[in-house]
C-alpha cells in the first residue's frame, strides 16, 4: 500500500464539508468588504522567499521545500502567501489599478516541520491583503474583517493579541537595548536563542522555552522603543478597534516569524488550543514591495491556519454543517433509473442534498442504504408512480409516507427536511 507523504493529510467527507463551509463563509465576508480572490502559483523562485520572509527566519532556514527543476532552477513550494501576492502585484502592475487593492487568497502552504497536532507539512491558509493604504484605518479594517469572519463562524472565545514592532529604523536601537538587558544572563538562554542572538535577536522574544521566557519578561517592550509616529499609528489602530467593539489585547513580547513586518503585528489565539497554537497571524509590511523591486506600496494582511481553525470550530457551526439533512432518491427497477436521476437533478437544483440510488438495489435494500447514509427522507419512484407522474415521499424518522405529484416533490421534501425531529 502506498501511503501519504508524512505531514500531509486527507480531509475526508463529512469533515470536508466543514472546510467548504468555512471557505464559503470567508468568501462571503471578504467579498462584502471588497476583497477579491487572487489565485497564485504554489511554487515560486526560491529567491522570492529568501528576499521577503528573510534568510535568518525559521521558514527560510529550516522549513522550505526547495528543489531544482529539470533545468536546474531553484524553486520552492510556497510556505506562505504574502510574498507571492507582493511578487504578483509588481509583476502584473497592480499598482496601476485604483488603490487600495483588496485581495484574498486560499490554499495550501508547505513547510518542512516536525509533525504534531495542528502542525503539518502541507496546511491550508485563508488570508487577505490590503495594499496601498498606510493609515491606521487600513489596519483597523483588516482586523475588522478578521473579527467579522470569526464572529460569522460563531466564535466568541478567540482572542486577538497585538503589538507594535516599530519601524525598521527603530530595530537596531531595540536590539542593542535588548542585548544590553539580556547580556548578563546570555549563557542561560537556550541553544536556539544562542543562535538567534546574532542571526535574528528579535525572535528571542518569541522563544517558548520557559527559562528564556522568564528572562525576556523583564526586558523593555519593543513598542517602547518605537518612534513617535509608529506609536501614534498603533495607538490609533487600538482606538479605532475599540470604537468598533473589536476587543484586542496588547502583547508586548509578540513578534512574528517573518522579517517583513513592521508597526502593527497581531495573532489570534484560542483558549482551546492554548497560547502556543496560533490560529492566525498578520501584520503590516510597508517595505516589502519596494524591497522586492516594486514601488513604495504599503500593505497589511493576515493568514489564518485553516487546519487549526477547523479543529476548534464552535459546536453550533459544526452541527449545523454536518447535520444538514439528506433526501435519498430511490428508483425501483431498471426502468425507473433515469426518472430517478431526473428527480435527483430537480431536487439538487432546488437546493436539496438529494443523492440517487444508482446500483440497482431493491426497495428493501434501498431503504436500508438510505438509512445508512443518514437520509431523513426517501423519495421512492416505482413503475406505477412514474406512470402517474407522482412519487412516494417517506419520512424515515416518523415512518410516514405520502404520494406527492412530481412537480411538488421539491417543495414537499424541503418542508419535510425543515421540520425538526421530535424527541
Residues of the shown chain interacting with ligand ATP in the complex, contacts defined by CB under 6 A:
80, 111, 113, 118-120, 123, 125, 256-257, 278-281, 303, 305, 307-308
Q: Which of 396, 410, 295 is nearest to 352 (CA)?
A: 410
**Residue 57, φ and ψ in degrees, nearest 5:** -85, 160
The minimum distance between CB 276 and ligand ATP, in angstroms, equals 7
What value does the CA radius of gyration of the chain take, rounded to a whole number of Å?
27
The minimum distance between CB 52 and ligand ATP, in angstroms, equals 12
Q: Which CB sits closer to ligand ATP, 256 or 287?
A: 256
Separation of alpha carbons 238 and 232, rounded Å: 10
Q: Which CB sits closer to ligand ATP, 125 or 219?
A: 125
Q: Give the length of the chain.
A: 423
| Residue with smallest beta-carbon separation from ligand ATP | 305
Q: Which CB sits closer to ligand ATP, 279 or 379?
A: 279
The minimum distance between CB 10 and ligand ATP, in angstroms, equals 15
H helix intervals, 205-305: 210-217, 222-225, 228-243, 288-291
The minimum distance between CB 335 and ligand ATP, in angstroms, equals 52
Helical (H) or strand (E) element with 108: strand 101-110
How far, CA to CA in Å, does 42 sit from each of 38, 105, 264?
12, 12, 27
Say if residue 355 is exposed, middle or buried (CB neighbours under 10 Å; 0-12, 13-18, 19+). Answer: middle
Q: Which CB sits closer to ligand ATP, 213 or 239?
A: 213
Q: Which of 230, 160, 219 is nearest to 185 (CA)?
A: 219
The minimum distance between CB 145 and ligand ATP, in angstroms, equals 16
Separation of alpha carbons 143 and 72, rounded Å: 42
Q: Which residue has the cell 483558549?
A: 271
Q: Which CB sits closer to ligand ATP, 111 or 394?
A: 111
Q: Which of 141, 82, 98 is nearest to 292 (CA)?
A: 82
The minimum distance between CB 332 and ligand ATP, in angstroms, equals 48
**What 3-state class would DSSP assign to 213?**
helix
Separation of alpha carbons 202 and 220, rounded Å: 12
Q: Which CB sits closer to ligand ATP, 298 or 305?
A: 305
The minimum distance between CB 346 and ligand ATP, in angstroms, equals 41
- Interhelix angle 136-152/228-243, nearest 10 degrees: 40
The minimum distance between CB 389 and ligand ATP, in angstroms, equals 53
Q: Which CB sits closer to ligand ATP, 213 or 368?
A: 213
Q: Which CB sits closer to ligand ATP, 268 or 381?
A: 268
The minimum distance between CB 55 and ligand ATP, in angstroms, equals 16
Q: Which CB sits closer to ligand ATP, 80 or 357?
A: 80
Q: Answer yes or no: are the C-beta atoms of 108 and 122 closer than 8 Å.
A: yes
All cell numbers assigned to 255: 513578534
How far, CA to CA in Å, does 58 sit from each of 50, 61, 134, 200, 310?
11, 5, 28, 10, 25
Amino acid at each position: 500500500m502506498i501511503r501519504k507523504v508524512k505531514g500531509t493529510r486527507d480531509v475526508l467527507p463529512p469533515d470536508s464539508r466543514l472546510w467548504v463551509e468555512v471557505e464559503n463563509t470567508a468568501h462571503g465576508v471578504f467579498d462584502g468588504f471588497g476583497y477579491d480572490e487572487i489565485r497564485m502559483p504554489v511554487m515560486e523562485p526560491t529567491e522570492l522567499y529568501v528576499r521577503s520572509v528573510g534568510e535568518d527566519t525559521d521558514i527560510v532556514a529550516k522549513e522550505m521545500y526547495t528543489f531544482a527543476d529539470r533545468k536546474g532552477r531553484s524553486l520552492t513550494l510556497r510556505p506562505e502567501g504574502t510574498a507571492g501576492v507582493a511578487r504578483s502585484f509588481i509583476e502584473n502592475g497592480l499598482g496601476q489599478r485604483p488603490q487600495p487593492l483588496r485581495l484574498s487568497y486560499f490554499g495550501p502552504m508547505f513547510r518542512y516541520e516536525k509533525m504534531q497536532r495542528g502542525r503539518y507539512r502541507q496546511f491550508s491558509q485563508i488570508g487577505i491583503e490590503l495594499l496601498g493604504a498606510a493609515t491606521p484605518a487600513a489596519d483597523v479594517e483588516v482586523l475588522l474583517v478578521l473579527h467579522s469572519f470569526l464572529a460569522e463562524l460563531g466564535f466568541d472565545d478567540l482572542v486577538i493579541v497585538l503589538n507594535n514592532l516599530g519601524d525598521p529604523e527603530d530595530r537596531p536601537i531595540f536590539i542593542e537595548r535588548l542585548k544590553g538587558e539580556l547580556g548578563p544572563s546570555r549563557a542561560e538562554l537556550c541553544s536556539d536563542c544562542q543562535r538567534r542572538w546574532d542571526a535574528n535577536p528579535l525572535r528571542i522574544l518569541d522563544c517558548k522555552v520557559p527559562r528564556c521566557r522568564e528572562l525576556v519578561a523583564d526586558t523593555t517592550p519593543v513598542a517602547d522603543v518605537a518612534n513617535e509616529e509608529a506609536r501614534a499609528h498603533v495607538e490609533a489602530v487600538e482606538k479605532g478597534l475599540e470604537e468598533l467593539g473589536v476587543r484586542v489585547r496588547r502583547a508586548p513580547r509578540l513578534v512574528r516569524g517573518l522579517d517583513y513586518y513592521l508597526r502593527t503585528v497581531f495573532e489570534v489565539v484560542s483558549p482551546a488550543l492554548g497560547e502556543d497554537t496560533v490560529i492566525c497571524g498578520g501584520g503590516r509590511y510597508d517595505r516589502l514591495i519596494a524591497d522586492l523591486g516594486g514601488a513604495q506600496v504599503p500593505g497589511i494582511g493576515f493568514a489564518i491556519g485553516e487546519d487549526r481553525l477547523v479543529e476548534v470550530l464552535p459546536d453550533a457551526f459544526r452541527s449545523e454543517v454536518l447535520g444538514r439533512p439528506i433526501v435519498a432518491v430511490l428508483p425501483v427497477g431498471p426502468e425507473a433509473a433515469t426518472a430517478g436521476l431526473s428527480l435527483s437533478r430537480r431536487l439538487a437544483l432546488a437546493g436539496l442534498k438529494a443523492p440517487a440510488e444508482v446500483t440497482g438495489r431493491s426497495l428493501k435494500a434501498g431503504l436500508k442504504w438510505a438509512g445508512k447514509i443518514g437520509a431523513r427522507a426517501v423519495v421512492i419512484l416505482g413503475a406505477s408512480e412514474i406512470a402517474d407522474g407522482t412519487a412516494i415521499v417517506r419520512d424515515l424518522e416518523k415512518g410516514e409516507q405520502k404520494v406527492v405529484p412530481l412537480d411538488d416533490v421539491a417543495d414537499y421534501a424541503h418542508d419535510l427536511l425543515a421540520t425538526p425531529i421530535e424527541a
